[in-house]
């Protein structure tokens, strides 16, 4: 069964707490986190790393220092030495989300903001662009499509080498979400939406239809306590 988690990232942390939490990341991850100029970006990246580490420790019994992550040729992360655990992370605004399963999984969260609808012609398929232009709430639907497409890109693990307009995601009968690629609907892919906040869109993409109904919400304090007690 897929497990889906969400955590609201604090707006700020005192330097001592931040450094204590950062010490649990790898040197390479620390370097990437510290390169961010905005504190919000540093914290989102840090809490995403801590969240997946906490989940892996719980599921495997590994200690934090025993956890080793790798990446495929397209940059998708995986847990080294464990083919039975697949995960995916996403963060936007104040939210970090994660999905873990025994099979490939993709998850995406997007903060709804003002956006130039014209970019849909470049990033969406013709069918998606048509659906967007005819939708009663274009801004909301734009971010639904964007989050859906990102979650699908993540599950196939090809990153930006897979153009966003090379496949279509549409709502069919009874609002079933269907992805079509090379003219064929993929029956082996399932989607579901989670509502964690009215200003955000969040979608899960799975390689089966055993999708959890709810998200496990974790507090920042709970997550930090797993590392610095």
Of the candidates 211, 203, 174, 200, the residue with the CA atom closest to the CA atom of residue 3:
211
Query: pLDDT tier at 160 (50, 70, 90 boundaries)?
Result: confident
Predicted pLDDT of residue 112: 98
Q: Are 215 and 96 in contact (CB under 8 A)?
A: no
pLDDT tens profile 206-224: 999 999 999 999 999 999 9
Predicted pLDDT of residue 20: 98
More confident residue, 75 or 144: 144
Please enumerate in sequence order all residues whose Cβ is within 8 A of that of 136, keeping only pairs 6 or more positions apart, or say none: none
Angle, alpha carbons 191-201-51 (nearest 5°): 85
29 CB neighbour count, 10 Å cutoff: 16
Predicted pLDDT of residue 158: 85
pTM over 0.75: yes
Query: Mean of the per-residue pLDDT values for the chain?
Result: 95
Q: Is the pLDDT of residue 193 over 80?
A: yes
112 CB neighbour count, 10 Å cutoff: 19
Q: What is the mean pLDDT of residues 149-160?
A: 91
Predicted pLDDT of residue 22: 98
pLDDT tens profile 99-153: 999 999 999 999 999 999 889 999 999 999 999 999 999 999 999 999 999 999 9
Predicted pLDDT of residue 69: 96
Predicted pLDDT of residue 173: 86
Q: Which domains does the chain have, with CATH numbers?
A: 3-228 (3.90.470.20)
Q: What is the mean pLDDT of residues 69-80?
A: 93
pLDDT tens profile 10-36: 999 999 999 999 999 999 999 999 999
Query: pLDDT tier at 97 (50, 70, 90 boundaries)?
Result: very high
Predicted pLDDT of residue 162: 86
Phi, psi of 195 (to 5 degrees): -110, 95
Predicted pLDDT of residue 1: 87
Q: CA–CA separation, 156 vs 79, rounded Å?
A: 16
């Amino acid at each position: 069964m897929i497990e889906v988690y969400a955590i609201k990232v604090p707006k700020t942390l005192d330097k001592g707490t931040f450094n204590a939490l950062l010490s649990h990341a790898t040197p390479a991850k620390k370097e990437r986190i510290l390169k961010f100029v905005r504190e919000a970006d540093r914290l989102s990246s840090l809490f995403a790393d801590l969240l997946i580490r906490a989940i892996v420790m719980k599921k495997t019994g590994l200690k934090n220092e025993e956890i080793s992550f790798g990446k495929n040729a397209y940059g998708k992360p995986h847990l080294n030495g464990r083919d039975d655990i697949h995960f995916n992370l996403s963060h936007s605004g104040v939210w970090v989300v994660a999905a873990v399963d025994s099979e490939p999984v993709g998850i995406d969260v997007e903060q709804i903001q003002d956006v130039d609808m014209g970019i849909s012609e470049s990033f969406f398929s013709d069918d998606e662009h048509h659906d967007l232009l005819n939708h009663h709430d274009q801004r909301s639907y734009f971010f639904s499509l964007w989050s859906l497409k990102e979650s699908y890109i993540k599950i196939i693990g090809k990153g930006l080498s897979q153009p966003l307009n090379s496949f279509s995601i549409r709502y069919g009968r009874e609002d079933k979400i269907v992805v079509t690629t090379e003219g064929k609907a993929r029956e082996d892919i399932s989607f579901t939406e989670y509502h964690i906040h009215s200003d955000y869109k969040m979608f899960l993409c799975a390689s089966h239809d055993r999708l959890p109904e709810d998200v496990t919400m974790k507090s920042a304090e709970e997550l930090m306590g797993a590392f610095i007690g």
